[in-house]
Structure 1
Amino acid sequence: MEIFVKALPVEEIIESLSKQLNTPIQRDGGELIIDLPEKWGKGFIRGTSFNWGIGVIEYNVTFFKDVEIHFTINQTHPLKFIFCSEGRVRHGFEENDDVHNIDTYQNVIVSSSGHNGHVLLFKANETSHVFSLEIIREEFNQRKNFDYKDMDPQLQRLFQDNNAEELFFYQGNYSIQAADIVESIAHKEHTGFLRLIFLEAKVYEMLAKQISQFTDDQQNGHKAILLRRSDVEKVKNAVEIINRDLNQNYSVDHLAKEVGTNVNKLQEGFKYMFDLTVNKYIQQVKLEAAKELLTESDHNISQIVGQIGLNNRSYFSKIFKEKYGVSPKYFLNHKFPDSENNGDSEED
């Protein structure tokens, strides 16, 4: 099933969809929302635009039939930043037969050439959650952009291409930070005026993240630093390695190589997931294991120090006290009052 709608601005896109789907528009401040009619599917489409020709559309839909939304207008089409946070959507250009799948956690930057339009394709009975930043470059370039200083040259040309002289397509896996922004937009914590200014702030934050990500993707694997969903899996793999044998003292470089990433991304991943560096995480795991052994086993402190891969008992005592506020000896004696006679006579 094909739907033909206007391509700009966002409000006219929503109005066109409302007419094509024969469903009313709800308004919350400056945000326009339509619910899919029961015969079409489930879900909603909502969006709004701001000054300087930038806007956002959110599709949270499950169509009952294959649906193609054609964006048509006899003008230059917007520059689009499209993100898929659930399911998938396909994107095509009217000017050629190329169709690209945008899967969960993937994103694209697309610009058609001339007055050629775009097509979004949704498969029947597949839930898709998609966000599209829409930028009317002729308007956007009237704001103070400072000649896009320090931006990647490809993106400079793309943003300054008011007449869409060149077709452009880029695809990547968007960063964890970008995923957090998408989630906050979808959550709809605010309504009315607060929702509007919140959305505008998040749209610009998302745009900044996307530009940073594009630049990051131009780097080789050793220099890229932005964290993607696939990188989170690698952090989880590193955690498994660390916990598998606490007697080992893995370097950050070794762990990065073992899980197939670079040191920067591994550190960023541990910071994101645990708010700790890799080494601090390893230290914390070893200390928690030591505390458990002190509580539940009959091993003395020297034995426990060896089991967690530390050779220096004094250092162990120092970091244990920093974390738990008491020395290992005090902790052991507190848990087991008779442990002073357990043969572990060293002072801590």
Structure 2
Amino acid sequence: MTISLSQQSYTDFEQALYAQAQYPDSADGMDLLLQQPAWFATGYTREVELRQGLRLQILDFRLCDRCETTLPDQEGAISFHFHLSGEHQDACTEVSNLEYALYGSGLAPKHTLISPDRYPALEVIVDMEPESFVSFIGQGGELPLEFQHLIQPADQTHYTRVGTISPAMQGILWQIIRCPYLGLHKRMYLEGKALEVAALVLEEEREVQQGRQPLLSLKSDCVDRIHRAREILMQNLHQPPSLMELARQVGLNDYSLKCGFKQVFGKTVFGYLHDYRMEQASQLLMSGEMKVEEVAAAIGFESRSYFSIAFRKKFGITPKTYQMQCRTGGRQI
């Protein structure tokens, strides 16, 4: 059975959680414990507003069933998501055990977040507003070129990247989860640790932007399995398997599949699927036999608005305009 939360039902769900919030630290009114309802999961989410523009979250729960949550278009902060356990797939990322996702600010388009059945989730999230991020530059300084892509206007899709949680990051994350302090000491301790683990991710981001990434040495059998994974994706455009399920089907672990896929095809698993969908969409629009919303549905997009945003980002033109130009003999992609 799948738990499906529409955009409205998810909003109602969140409001109900906050209405019953508990305060695990009586000396800190900005530290909330949100107990998950029994029909949804066993466990809790803890949120600590460390200061204006800097928030820490700890998610520790096990879902009752597979969950699909529809999230609206929203302007996001710079966000660091660390998965010590658990996985999810959304419009931009596939994140598994001991991986982190880095999200820049900007537009997070409407999408469906998919979480697997009964999987234990243990996640630490650090959210930083752009103003807070920029405040670390210092007076008279400029944001380094390697980090400028992390800050985008509200109408541009945010940057995303998935990486592996290093042993150093793991140590800090467990210190956050097991913080022994309360009150002032706790807030100072957690803020320091949140900034420390974010700094480690930013150092890796600097290396990524400078092109310093190690490559895997792939054996022929591994390459064959990666090509098989691609075939499975192409056969399941509407309901593609999660990264871990896809890895299981082709006999690889999720890390080998993720890194190997990018090395073989030059894109992440989800990125390849996304681009393939866009190419299929351009062909269907060019034929003129389907409406834009029908094309969106045909390639696995639940939202026409997100499809339009994704198509424009890929090709620099809206699907409707592209279809009209094809009908009048205009440009083709």
The interval holding the TM-score normalised by the smaller chain is 0.5 to 0.7
Letter in 1 for 2:200: K
- Alignment of structure 1 residues 60-71 onto 2, 5 Å: 60-71=60-71
Distance 1:199 1:71, change over 3 A: farther
CA contact (8 A) 2:31 2:48 kept: yes
CA apart distance, 1:119: 5.2
Give 1:245's aligned residue: none
Letter in 2 for 1:59: L
Distance 1:4 1:63, change over 3 A: same
Q: Spell out, residue by residue over 1:142-186, the C-alpha distance to the aligned partner (whole angstroms, 9 max, x if none).
A: 625238969762422313x35363431211112211111111111
SS of structure 1 residue aligned to 2:171: helix
Q: Spell out, residue by residue over 1:48-103, the C-alpha distance to the aligned partner (whole angstroms, 9 max, x if none).
A: 22334121221111010222445546x5222221110013233x23xxxx5x3211
Distance in 2 of aligned mates of 1:40 and 1:131 = 20
Give 2:49's aligned residue: 49
Distance in 2 of aligned mates of 1:178 and 1:149 = 28
Q: Does 1:136 align with 2:132?
A: no
| Identity within the alignment, % | 14
Q: Does 1:106 align with 2:99?
A: yes
Distance 1:52 1:107, change over 3 A: same
Give 2:282's aligned residue: none
CA RMSD of aligned residues (A): 3.3
Distance 1:188 1:134, change over 3 A: same
Distance in 1 of aligned mates of 2:179 and 2:35 = 16
Gaps of 5+ in 1: 7-12, 223-348
Q: Does 1:155 align with 2:154?
A: no
State the TM-score, normalized to the length of structure 1.
0.51
State the TM-score, normalized to the length of structure 2.
0.53
**Alignment coverage as a number of residue pairs:** 206
CA contact (8 A) 1:112 1:164 kept: no
- Residue in structure 2 matching 1:178, options 169, 172, 185: 169
CA apart distance, 1:135: 2.0
Give 2:109's aligned residue: 116
SS of structure 1 residue aligned to 2:76: coil
Give 2:22's aligned residue: 26
Letter in 2 for 1:168: Y
Distance 1:4 1:130, change over 3 A: farther
Between structure 1 and structure 2, the one with the greater Rg is: 1
Distance 1:148 1:64, change over 3 A: farther
Distance 1:21 1:48, change over 3 A: closer
Distance in 1 of aligned mates of 2:43 and 2:65 = 14
